[in-house]
Structure 1
Amino acid sequence: MAASAKDSRNLTAPPPPRPATPRSRASAKGEQTRARLIAAARTLLAGELGERFTTRNVAALCGVSHGMCHYHFQDRTDLVLAVVEDIRPEWVLPLEEAVAAPGTFAERAERVLALLDGPESTDLAHLHSALHWHALNDERVRESLAAEYRRWRACFVALFQVLADERGGGIDPRPLGEAVAAAVDGLAAVESLEAGIEDGAVLRTLVRTLAAGV
C-alpha cells in the first residue's frame, strides 16, 4: 500500500508555473525601456546630431520623459558607458570566439582575418568615432573604452599564444599580437579617409610573415 501511494505521488503532474507578478512585469518593462534608451543613445551618437547628445534629447527620441531617462541612467556619461557595453557583441565578442574556437594557429588566424576583412558597418564606425571623442573629455568613458580595447587586443595576443604552444615555446606572443592589433587600428583609420585599401590582403601578409619569422 505504501508503495502504491508513493507511485501515485510520483505520477502527479507538476504544479503549473506561477503567473507573472506585477513586480516581474514591471521589471521586464523597465528593461525594455532601458534598452530603448540605449538604442536612442546609439542613434544620436552615430548620427549627424551627435552634438545634441543629451539625456533630454535621448529621452525625447525614445518617447519617454526626461525623468524616466534619469531613473535608468544618472547622467550622460552613464548612457555613453551603456553604449560602450552594448556594442561589445559587434566587435569584441566575435573576435574572442574566433580565437577561442578549436583549431590550429592557421585555422584560427583565418577565422580572425575573415572577420577583419568584412566591412565595418557605418553605424559602428561612427559610434567608435563618437566614443573616442567622449573618451577625450570624460575620464570614466576613457577608462571604459580603454578596457574594451585591451580586451580586443588580447585576442591577437591569444592567437599568437596558440602559435607559441604549437612550436614548443620560446615565442613571446605579446609583441606579435600587439603589432597586428596596431596594424588593424591603423588600417581602419586610413580606410575611413580613403576607401579601396585592400586591408584584408595587408593583414593576411602581416600575420603570415610574423608567423614565419618566428
Structure 2
Amino acid sequence: MATRANDQTPSPGRPRGSGKGEQTRARLIAAARTLLAGESAGRFTTRNVAALCGLSHGMCHYHFQDRTDLIVAVIEDIRPEWITPLEEAVAGPGRFAERAERVIALLTRPESPDLAHLHAALHWLALNDERVRAGLEEEYRRWRACFVRLFQVLADERADERAEESGREGGGDAELDPRLLGESFAAAVDGLAAFQSLEPELAAEAVLRALMASLAAGA
C-alpha cells in the first residue's frame, strides 16, 4: 500500500471532506463498481481502480485505507438501489395489503445485469474477507428488517380490529410474530432469487403473492 503523504488521510471514524475531495471519492467508488461488476473479483485491486479514474495509486489510498475499505464503500453505495426503495415502500401510506403490493412490485422488478454481477462479486469477496462479510451482513439485516416492519403493520391492524370489537385499546397482536414472519419471507425471497437465476421462467410474482397471502392468513 502506498505511503500517505500527510496527516490528513480520512479514516473510517473521521468526517469526510467536501467539494473536490468528495467528487474524487465518488469517482473511485464508481470505478470500483465498474471493475467488480465486469471482471473477476479475484483480480480487483486499488491500483486498477485508480488507473481507471486516471488518478495516482496514492490518491486512492488517501481516500480509502485499503482494498477492503473501498469494497465496503461500494456495499454502502448500492444501498439506494435495492434497500432504500424497499424501506420507502414499507414506510409509505396505506394498510398492510397496499404496502405488500408495493413490496412485491419491487421484488419482481428486473435487476440490472451490473447490479446482479456486483452482488455476486461482493458475495465472493465476503468468503475470504471478514470486513466485507460484516458489511454485507449489516446490509442484509437492514433488508430483512423491511419485511419485519411490513408484518408489524399487519400485527397492528389485527390488534386494532380486535380492540374495536372488544372496546379495548389496541397495541399489537400478541399472537402474530412480525419478526418470525418477516424473517421467513425474507429467507424465501432470497432462495427464490437464487432459484430464478437457474430457472428464469419461474413465475416469481405468483410465488411471492401466494407466500405473502399464506403467511398473512396463517398468522
| TM-score, reference length from structure 2 | 0.84
Q: Is the 8 A contact 1:77 1:141 kept in 2?
A: yes
Structure 1 residues not aligned, in runs of 5+: 1-25
The Cα of 1:190 is off from its aligned counterpart by 1.1
Partner SS for 2:127? helix
Q: Residue in 2 aligned with 1:165?
A: 156
Deviations 1:78-136 (A, max 9, x none): 11000000000001110000001111000000000010110111111111111111111
Q: Is 2:190 the counterpart of 1:199?
A: no
Structure 2 residues not aligned, in runs of 5+: 1-16, 160-172
The one of 97, 113, 119 aligned to 1:106: 97
What amino acid sits opposite 1:138 in the alignment? D
Q: Distance in 2 between matches of 1:208 and 1:195?
A: 23
Q: Distance in 2 between matches of 1:182 and 1:198?
A: 18
Q: Distance in 2 between matches of 1:52 and 1:138?
A: 14
Q: Distance in 2 between matches of 1:155 and 1:49?
A: 31
The one of 188, 194, 197 aligned to 1:189: 194
Q: Residue in 1 aligned with 2:181?
A: 176
Superposed, 1:1-214 pairs within 5 Å as: 27-168=18-159, 169=173, 170-214=175-219
Structure showing greater Rg: 1
Partner SS for 1:137? coil
What amino acid sits opposite 2:204 in the alignment? D
Q: Is the 8 A contact 1:95 1:155 kept in 2?
A: yes
Deviations 1:12-47 (A, max 9, x none): xxxxxxxxxxxxxx9411111110100000011111
Partner SS for 1:167? helix
Partner SS for 1:155? helix
Q: Is the 8 A contact 2:90 2:99 kept in 1?
A: yes
The Cα of 1:49 is off from its aligned counterpart by 4.2
Q: Residue in 2 aligned with 1:14?
A: none
The Cα of 1:163 is off from its aligned counterpart by 0.5
Root-mean-square deviation (CA, aligned residues, Å) is: 1.1
| TM-score, reference length from structure 1 | 0.86
Q: Distance in 1 between matches of 2:18 and 2:109?
A: 38
Q: Percent identity?
A: 77
